[in-house]
Amino acid sequence: MFPFDQTYKLTAEEDSRGAISVVAGVPLPADAEVGCLDRELNLERQQVDHMYLIRTPQDTWILHFEALTHYRSDWVKAQLEHAVGIERKYALPVYSHLLLFQKEGTPEVVKTPVVRNRGGLTFQLEVNVIRLWERPASEVLHSDSVALLPWAALMDATVEEQREAARRLRDSGRDGLQMQMALLGALRYGSRRSFLERIGPMLLTKDILRESPMWQEIEKEARAEGLAKGIAQGVTEGMAQGIAQGVAEGQTAGERRALQKILSRRFGTLPSAIEQRIAAADLDTLERWIEQAIVADSLEASLR
């Protein structure tokens, strides 16, 4: 789910009430206090996507959210185990929600409640299934919360509503939120380029993905390695032309190293065939693959 899970968690922490009531459409009492809980359950190192502690003068309960960028049938097991773990840790009522990011691959009917029998013990969990593409983006636009605007990329929105969200993000100067909208738009429309063509490329003018902390960390390290090697090679040759050529080769080496790091972080150890394809790619291809690798849901899709 990386990096989309981080986008959801950042939004959830910045505007908790909005993430619950506006994005997910889960009603909250007007007098409710909302707080974020530590996602670590300390039960065999289980981590949930997000939990909120809700308090009113009359009652206290927990809202539990799991988010899926791509539908998986095995969500049932994790959802139930996490809900049970939350109840064991906090001894409070738990209300569980499944937040689905995109329609493609999602069955028309998602079965709930979740039931599991373990000998003489039966667990049953009622899950509120939220299809984000059915949630009206107009509610985000009317909320006056800048932190929620990126979600217009995945919600039920007209092109103009998405453009309005992008305009407001651009005017806010919040580069991180602009990056989030670009990432979510790429998830829905297949690529960042497709999404920007839909809303107007001038609305999000920076190379937003490369503003992300993840990219900066990888790029800084990888390019430093590649450029140092290339410059050293040029100096050894003793000519200005050699240095320039070394720098160019170093840039390609840096892009190659950056791509390898992104892919290995997302998909694990790279097969030798993939390493060979990366080694043979030119600079333009490497740059295109890097952009795809950040949002693709498989190794193969990253290198198309």
**Are both 109 and 204 inside the same structural domain?**
no
Short-list 221, 275, 277, 283, CA closest to 251? 283
Do 186 and 115 lie in a common domain? no
Half-sphere exposure of 271 (CA within 13 A, CB side): 6
What is the Cα–Cα distance from 64 to 113, expressed in whole angstroms? 15
As a whole-number percent, the residues of the chain with pLDDT over 90 amount to 33
Two structure tokens written together for 136: 């009206």
Range of the domain at 118: 4-134
pLDDT range class, residue 178, cuts 50, 70, 90:
confident
pLDDT of residue 231: 47
Let me know whether 80 and 127 are in one domain: yes
In a shared domain, residues 194 and 245: no
39 and 95 within one domain: yes
- Give the mean model confidence (pLDDT) for residues 165-172: 91
pLDDT digits (tens, 9 = 90+) for 270-289: 888 889 998 888 888 888 88
Question: What are the structure tokens assigned to 124, written together?
Answer: 């049953």
Q: Where are the alpha helices (DSSP H) in the chain?
A: 4-14, 16-18, 75-90, 137-142, 159-172, 175-189, 192-199, 213-237, 240-267, 272-280, 283-295, 299-302
CA angle 87, 97, 109 (to 5 degrees): 130
Q: Are residues 150 and 100 both part of a single domain?
A: no
Taking residue 35's Cβ as centre, other Cβ atoms within 10 Å add up to 10
Domain boundary residue among 193, 210, 227?
210
pLDDT of residue 2: 47
- Which is more confidently placed, 104 or 44? 104
Query: Is the domain of 63 the same as that of 148?
Result: no
Q: pLDDT of 54-72, one tens digit each? A: 999 999 999 999 988 889 8
DSSP state for residue 45 in the 8-state scheme: T
45 and 112 in a single domain? The answer is yes
Please state, in angstroms and rounded to a whole number, the distance separating the CA atoms of residues 8 and 153. Answer: 13
The last residue of one of the domains, among 90, 115, 134, is 134
pLDDT band of residue 241 (cuts 50, 70, 90) is very low
- The CA distances from residue 249 to 114, 244, 286, in Å, are 55, 9, 13
Do 126 and 195 share a domain, yes or no? no
CB 154 within 8 A of CB 132: yes
Q: Where does residue 168 rank: exposed (0-12), middle (13-18), buried (19+ CB within 10 A)?
A: middle
Return all residues near 26 (Cβ < 8 A) that are at least 6 apart.
Answer: 20, 63, 97, 128, 130
Q: Could you tell me if 218 and 205 lie in one domain?
A: no
**Verdict on whether the full-model pTM lies above 0.75:** no
Number of domains in the chain: 3
**Cα–Cα distance between 64 and 24 in angstroms, integer?**
12
Same domain flag for 203 and 250: no
Task: Express each pLDDT in 72-131 by its tens digit.
Answer: 888 998 899 999 999 988 999 999 999 999 898 999 989 888 888 888 988 899 999 999
What does pLDDT average to over the chain?
Answer: 81
Is residue 77 located within the same domain as residue 49?
yes
- pLDDT of 32 reads 95
Q: In what order do the strands lie in the sheet containing 94-100?
A: 33-36, 50-55, 60-68, 94-100, 127-131
Contact 193, 163 (CB under 8 A): no
Domain boundary pick from 109, 134, 159: 134
Predicted local distance difference test score (pLDDT) of residue 42: 59
Q: Spell 108-142 as b/e; 16+ CB within 10 A means b.
A: eeeeeebeeeeeeeeeebebeebbbbebebebbbe
